[in-house]
Structure 1
């Protein structure tokens, strides 16, 4: 598959540059006001049409307070540290008001039917590991097994169930716009509106740093969050998962969950699902760092005029080390089934790695499962994301 040439990790598309200038011009000429990244203002916009009872709903007082505090500190970091340009400011405004709106909408759903958030589900299979360690590939192979299930991209980013279900259309439109701003998006991650994908949207909806630190430089918020108990985030995550399982009618199937943030927060996730099976993705540290820098730079480049590669490298060298240390500590205290998959070995013999994984997890590997995984493997083999390694090599040569 042909991919657009990316000359530098911080390269910007013309569409993004045009959009940034256009938004700034609208503000400068007074055509539309610049929306403040102020918690109270964002709350007023995001909660419009909802009541206070939708915010609280079935959540504990501590969970309600946690979200409010996260919003306050994230907004401060965005104003004081992120160096957002007009497009970045607009995207931050949109994402945070959307998170507030979805939180209220979910609260309303649970007020109407609290049983959804308590739906019994099969013990999940959790893929943990650093981003760029092959977690997406592992995730989709395991979810391809007809006896398992996964979360659709559209469900992750639009978690509120609706009838009719228009989420695939919304997600498709959102991806189309994202590709205009970042034409290298699909070389970084193979997207699709209804493809199985990570649950990062559910984490973002609870204001976990997972999605924000990969697109904005917000060290104050990240440092605060790293020292914060993640339990409120994963309580919300569990409610959304159980609701999604009920509405998608797949609660009886093990859900294959995946997000690199799990490596940082694994104890909080396992507190919600103590009977989980774990699959740990491993990859060479140098390759992980190079790939992570490329991904983060691509997302930050068009949202900030001040970000630089040295800052990104320093932060993600630190972040990867922190996640690795926390993951190892969590694994040392976990007594359940654990399998490990090496990135390089997966590339050489994915069937062998999957066979070993199923054996280590104590799951029978059927011919039907292997056939479904082969179909997923073939689909992935044609993806644009295989060009990412060549991009990184070009950066080094340049």
Structure 2
């Protein structure tokens, strides 16, 4: 039995103040009601932009599933539905602007995306650290945080490229991050970042109303399960085109391979490999006890901002199920991937000796690591400044026990030689043996 006396942290009073202000504003007609219907949201985006081409309309299917799940399950408060309207509008407006850019500059879609390096691992398994270390190497291209929030340049971006105007997207990202930290000061501990920090491309999947970002901020389990039964290829095709747009906006050489990462790739490896057939894959592994506890904590700390009715035990149960599903789908998809196209990396190996682990990765990528080492060391120093406090969490906070997690993930732990979090650094020999038989 889990220790129910252990409670997860509460949200800050900031959200209660915002929620009260929105409710009061709606009563006197100063704040619009939240209309979360597909027709209204799409019509609003068309009206604001004067554009009407959303590109591939496949995204409407996950959008409908998401809206249905929000309506029946999310239990959003006023701050939550206000934020939801803004988020949907942002995505839909960007889809319209995306097609505008493709028509205006058709050369964007001709940019190649060759040999991307894709980090694939469970949420909270060290993917961010590895991604940012590789992104320090200027031989690779990477997304920046402001581009994940706003991947699509605004009209008139040519003036930014000419040095005549400032790109507003980093300014917007800085404002959003400031509000996020007011809403939840734990943000910096859970996922330290800044507008220009390397960031995952999850926002490019969000552009198709796809991915775990929604599941980590709203209570939408039926949406998550719906996505698990659908081929994600159209979402990845749009992601690839957005990468081309981001690369064009960065004015970087299309020869540079992209460094990509998001835990969503564990769910959608067949789609990813269909769109990026020459991808090189780095699989990250961590003790599931830590993965599940950390993922549940991340989801809890976001969900409580948008709803007044969140059950920590339900959060824990869902993220244990989700982690188990991610692992199963990743393992199934690996069977069809040539061994010379993938490498396994362990969280505790990076903790113990990041340089040796990175050297092994660079041998896999057939690159000399030495030119990138000073930048990597600079990132690690910067990371210490970004992360001011450790991220603290426990399974018990979310109604889970160590035994339950161990029982449901034991085969994964055994197959990949994963060390318990409190006992890192002693399974290298077992891991070498495991790599020989996989």
Q: 2:243 aligns with which of 241, 244, 251?
A: 241
Give the whole-Å Cα distance in 2 for the aligned partners of 1:393 and 1:271. Answer: 36
How far apart in 1 are the matches of 2:33 and 2:281? 45
- Distance change >3 Å, CA 337–CA 364, structure 1 → 2: same
Residue in 2 aligned with 1:290? 293
Query: Any conservation in 1 of the 2:212–2:224 contact (CA below 8 Å)?
Result: no
**Which residue, 352, 355, 358 being the options, matches 1:354?**
358
Equivalent residue, structure 1, for 2:234: 232
1:119 shift after superposition = 0.6
CA distance in structure 1 between the partners assigned to 2:13 and 2:207 by the alignment? 30
- Pair 1:91 & 2:83 matched: yes
1:150 equivalent among 142, 146, 167: 142
Closer/same/farther in 2, CA of residues 130 and 393 from structure 1, 3 Å limit: closer
1:59 is matched with: none
* Structure 2 CA distance for aligned equivalents of residues 175 and 47 of structure 1: 27
Deviation digits for residues 298-346 of structure 1 (CA, Å, limit 9, x no counterpart): 0001211111111101111110011111111122211252121111111
Segments of structure 1 that go 5 or more residues without pairing to the other structure are 1-6, 57-62
Shift in alpha-carbon separation, 1:385–1:237, aligned structure 2, 3 A: farther
Task: Flag the 1:69–1:317 CA change in 2: closer, same or farther, 3 A.
Answer: same
**Equivalent residue, structure 1, for 2:224:** 222
More deviation, 317-326/7-16: 7-16
Q: Is residue 365 of structure 1 aligned with residue 368 of structure 2?
A: yes
> Normalization by structure 1: what TM-score?
0.91
Q: Please say which structure displays the higher CA radius of gyration.
A: 2
Query: 1:211 aligns to what?
Result: 213
Q: Is the contact made by 2:151 and 2:242 (CA closer than 8 Å) also made in structure 1? A: yes
Once the two structures are TM-superposed, the CA of residue 30 in structure 1 deviates from its matched residue by 3.8
Deviation at 1:221, TM superposition (A): 1.4
How far did residue 239 of structure 1 move?
Answer: 0.2
How far 1:102 moved relative to its partner? 0.6
Structure 1 residues 112-123: aligned runs within 5 Å: 112-123=104-115
Change (3 A) 1:154 1:242: same
Q: Which of 317, 321, 324 is the equivalent residue of 1:321?
A: 324
CA separation in 1, counterparts of 2:369 and 2:326? 34
Distance 1:375 1:234 in 2: 32
* Matched position secondary structure for 2:214: coil
Secondary structure of the 1:340 match is strand
- What's the RMSD between the two structures over aligned residues? 1.9
Distance 1:30 1:246 in 2: 43
Deviates more, 1:112-121 or 1:195-204: 112-121
Residue 386 of structure 2 corresponds to 383
- Shift in Å at residue 121 of structure 1? 3.0
SS of equivalent to 1:228? coil
Say if 1:181 and 1:160 are closer, same or farther in 2 by CA, change over 3 A.
same
Counterpart in the other structure of 1:173: 175
Q: Sort the Cα spacing of 1:369 and 1:256 in 2 relative to 1 into closer, same or farther, 3 A.
A: same
Moved more, 71-80 or 286-295: 71-80
Superimposed CA distance per residue, residues 267-310 of structure 1 (whole angstroms, 9 cap, x where no aligned partner): 11111111111111100011111111110000001211111111
Which residue number corresponds to residue 27 of structure 1?
Answer: 26
Residue 8 (structure 1) shift? 5.1
1:29 is displaced (CA, Å) by: 3.8
Which whole-Å CA distance do the structure 1 matches of 2:223 and 2:283 have between them?
Answer: 27
- How far is the alpha carbon of 1:244 from its aligned partner? 1.4
Q: Does 1:300 align with 2:303?
A: yes
Separation in 2 of the partners of 1:326 and 1:393? 23
| Shift, 1:160, TM fit | 1.3
Query: What is the SS of the residue equivalent to 2:87?
Result: helix
Cα deviation for residue 178 of structure 1 reads 1.3
Aligned partner (choices 321, 343, 347) of residue 343 of structure 1:
347
Scaled by the length of structure 2, the TM-score of the pair is 0.83
Instruction: Give the Cα–Cα distance (whole angstroms) in 2 for the partners of residues 385 and 229 of structure 1.
Output: 40
Partner Cα separation in structure 2 for residue 345 and residue 182 of structure 1? 31
Say whether residues 1:374 and 2:377 are aligned partners: yes
